[in-house]
Structure 1
Amino acid sequence: MTLVATDLDRTLIYSRAAAGEHDGTDLYCVELYDGAPLSFMTERATALLSVLAGRITVLPTTTRTIAQFRRIALPGAPWRYAVTTNGGHILVDGKPDVCWHAQVETAAQAGGASLTEVERALRNRVDESWVDALRTADGLFCYAVVRSAAVPPDFLAEWSAWCAEIGWNASQQGRKIYTMPDVVCKSRAVAEVRRRLITDGTLPATAPLLAAGDGALDADLLAGADAAIRPRHGELHELAWTHPGLSITEGSGIRAGEEILDWFTQRSAID
C-alpha cells in the first residue's frame, strides 16, 4: 500500500491561464468561484485520479485555506484526510482537527515573529502600484496578490532575507507572494497523517510516500518523500530545483497533471 500526497493548483488542477497550450475540448471543471468556472482538469486526469483514489490512499495537500479547498469538487472525494493552509490544518472527514491546528499555532508563536509583526513589515514595503491585495490565511500566514510584471526586481530577495532572520520564509507562486512561518509546512502535516494511518492499520509501517508539487512551498514535501515528481513549469522549475528520487514531467501545463497521475499510478503499482 502506498500513500500519495499531492499539491493541487498548477500540479493537478489548473486555471485556463495556467493550462498552457490546450484546445479546451476535454477540460472538466472542478471549481466554481462566484458561479464561474475557475479550475480544471482534463477528463482523462479526472478518470485517473478517481481510479487511483479508489485503490490507494490519496492525500490532497494544498496551501489553500479550508474555505478555498472546499470550493474544489476533486474527483475521488470524499477524502478521509486532507492537508490545507500549507500544513496548518489537517481535515479529518472534512472537519478541521483542532488539536493539530493548536500544535501548529503554538510552534509558530515559539518559532519567531508574530503574524501581526510580519504583516506590518510587509505593508511598509509594498504599495498599490503593484499589489492588488494583502490577505491572511486562517490566522497563520499572509500573502500579497500582485501584478507580477510590476513587482520590483529586488523585492522578493530582500523580503526573503528579512523573513529568514525571524523564522519565516517568502516565495512567489503565480500572482501570490506568500510569507510563511518556517514551522507551517506541508511535510510536517503529511508526516502526521502518515503516522495516524500506520497506527490505525490503514498503512503498513513500510508504506512508501509519493509526492508531487510545483512551488517552493512544496519543496519540503518532495524532499521528504520516498519518490517525488514535479511539473516542467512553476517556481521549482524556474529555480531548476532537483533532489534525489525526483522525476520531472516531459510536458508542462495541464498535460503535466496527466503525467503526474500516470506516474503515481505506475509507481504505486510497483511499490
Structure 2
Amino acid sequence: MRKLVFLDLDDTLFQSRPKCPTDADLRPVAYLRDGSAHSFMTAKQQAFWHLLDTNTTVIPTTARDLDSLRRVELPFQSWRIIDYGGIVLNPDGVPDAPWLERMTTASRNHLEDLNELLDHVATFIVQQGLSAHVRIIEDFDLPFYLVAKYREGRDGDLDVLQRVLIQPWVADRTSVYRLHRNGNNLAVLPRTLGKEHAVRYLIEILGGEWGELMTVGIGDSLIDGAFMAECDYSLTPRGSQLFGETIGRPLL
C-alpha cells in the first residue's frame, strides 16, 4: 500500500527566524530571491522531515508559487500542489493538463471581481494611511487570489483593513469567496480554489494508478483543515492556528 503525505510547508515544516525558538539548532531551508535565508527547520522538524521522506511519498501542498517553491531546499520528487491548489505539478515539474484547464476556467470567472476588490483595497490603504500592501497572486499567467499584508510590524493596520473593508466584501459573497487570515496573511480566495480540491483530485488519479492508498494531511492553518479532512489521518503542529482552535482548546 502506498503511503501519501500531503504536507503544508510554511509554519508546518519550517518558519521564519522570528518564529523559531531562540536556542534551537536551526537548518536554513527556504530563501529569498536575493539568496538570503528566510525560513528554518528546528531539530524536531528536521527529524520529522526525515521520518516522512524515508517512509512515505511527500506531496508539498502549499500556497507558495513555483518560484518560491524552487527556493525551498528539500528534495520533493513526486507531485506538488502549489498556489493554494491552483496548480498541480506532476513529478517532472509540469502542470497537470486537465487540472490546469479546470483552473484556467475558474480563474477567468473571478478575475473581474478580484480586480475590483484590488482597486477598492488599494484606495482604502491610501485614504486611511495604512502601512499595508495588496496584490493579486498569479502563477503560470493565471490570477488566483488576492492577498494583503501589513508593513513595518503594524499588524493593527491589517486588522482595520480586514474589519472595515475586506470582511464585509466577502460576507456579501460567501457562496463564492472565503476569507483566510493567519498572521501577516489576509487572503480572499474563490471557493473554486482550494488545496482540498487538488488533494481530492490527486487521491483519485493516484489511487487509480497505484491502487489502495493510505493518506495523511499535515497543516497548521484553519484553512488547511479542509484538505486534511480529505485524508485518512490528519496532523497539526502544537501551537499552530489549527491546534489552538481545535485540540489545543481546554475542555469545558
Do the two structures share a fold, i.e. TM-score over 0.5? yes
Residue aligning to 1:146: 150
Are 1:8 and 1:62, in contact at CA under 8 Å, matched by a contact in 2? Answer: yes
1:1-271 to 2 correspondences below 5 Å = 1-19=2-20, 21-24=21-24, 26-33=25-32, 34-74=34-74, 77-93=75-91, 94-110=93-109, 114-127=113-126, 129-138=129-138, 139-147=143-151, 148-151=154-157, 153=159, 155-158=161-164, 159-166=166-173, 167-201=176-210, 203-204=211-212, 207-237=213-243, 240=245, 242=246
Question: What 5-or-longer segments of structure 1 have no aligned partner?
Answer: 249-271
Shift of residue 152, structure 1, vs aligned partner? 6.0
Residues 86-139 of structure 1: CA deviation (Å, up to 9, x unaligned)? 000111122222431221231344479632223223223333743432222221
Alpha-carbon distance between aligned partners in 1 of 2:158 and 2:31, rounded to the nearest angstrom? 32
Question: What 5-or-longer segments of structure 2 have no aligned partner?
Answer: none
Shift of residue 84, structure 1, vs aligned partner? 0.5
Greater shift, 129-138 or 34-43, is seen at: 129-138
Amino acid at match of 1:2: K
The percentage of counterpart residues that share the same residue type is: 26
Alpha-carbon distance between aligned partners in 1 of 2:137 and 2:158, rounded to the nearest angstrom? 24
Shift of residue 69, structure 1, vs aligned partner? 1.1
Amino acid at match of 2:147: Y
Cα RMSD between the aligned structures? 2.6
Amino acid at match of 2:145: F
Are 2:133 and 2:148, in contact at CA under 8 Å, matched by a contact in 1? Answer: yes
Are 1:105 and 1:140, in contact at CA under 8 Å, matched by a contact in 2? Answer: no
Alpha-carbon distance between aligned partners in 1 of 2:133 and 2:162, rounded to the nearest angstrom? 16
Alpha-carbon distance between aligned partners in 2 of 1:170 and 1:84, rounded to the nearest angstrom? 18
Alpha-carbon distance between aligned partners in 2 of 1:135 and 1:111, rounded to the nearest angstrom? 15
Alpha-carbon distance between aligned partners in 1 of 2:89 and 2:214, rounded to the nearest angstrom? 22
Q: Secondary structure at the match of 1:59?
A: strand
Are 1:130 and 1:150, in contact at CA under 8 Å, matched by a contact in 2? Answer: no
Amino acid at match of 1:11: T
Q: Secondary structure at the match of 2:193?
A: coil
Are 1:156 and 1:170, in contact at CA under 8 Å, matched by a contact in 2? Answer: no
Alpha-carbon distance between aligned partners in 1 of 2:171 and 2:215, rounded to the nearest angstrom? 29
Alpha-carbon distance between aligned partners in 1 of 2:167 and 2:232, rounded to the nearest angstrom? 29
User: TM-score of the superposition, structure 2-length normalised?
Assistant: 0.82
Alpha-carbon distance between aligned partners in 2 of 1:161 and 1:132, rounded to the nearest angstrom? 18
Residue aligning to 1:265: none
Alpha-carbon distance between aligned partners in 2 of 1:161 and 1:210, rounded to the nearest angstrom? 35
Alpha-carbon distance between aligned partners in 1 of 2:40 and 2:50, rounded to the nearest angstrom? 15
Shift of residue 54, structure 1, vs aligned partner? 3.1
Are 1:111 and 1:183, in contact at CA under 8 Å, matched by a contact in 2? Answer: no
Residue aligning to 1:267: none
Residues 212-260 of structure 1: CA deviation (Å, up to 9, x unaligned)? 212233121123332212223343345x2x3xxxx66xxxxxxxxxxxx
Shift of residue 29, structure 1, vs aligned partner? 0.8
Greater shift, 109-118 or 4-13, is seen at: 109-118
Are 2:220 and 2:242, in contact at CA under 8 Å, matched by a contact in 1? Answer: yes
Alpha-carbon distance between aligned partners in 1 of 2:222 and 2:44, rounded to the nearest angstrom? 27
Larger RCO: Structure 1 or Structure 2 (Cα < 8 Å, ≥ 6 residues apart)? 1
Are 2:147 and 2:188, in contact at CA under 8 Å, matched by a contact in 1? Answer: yes
Amino acid at match of 2:221: G
Q: Number of paired residues? A: 236
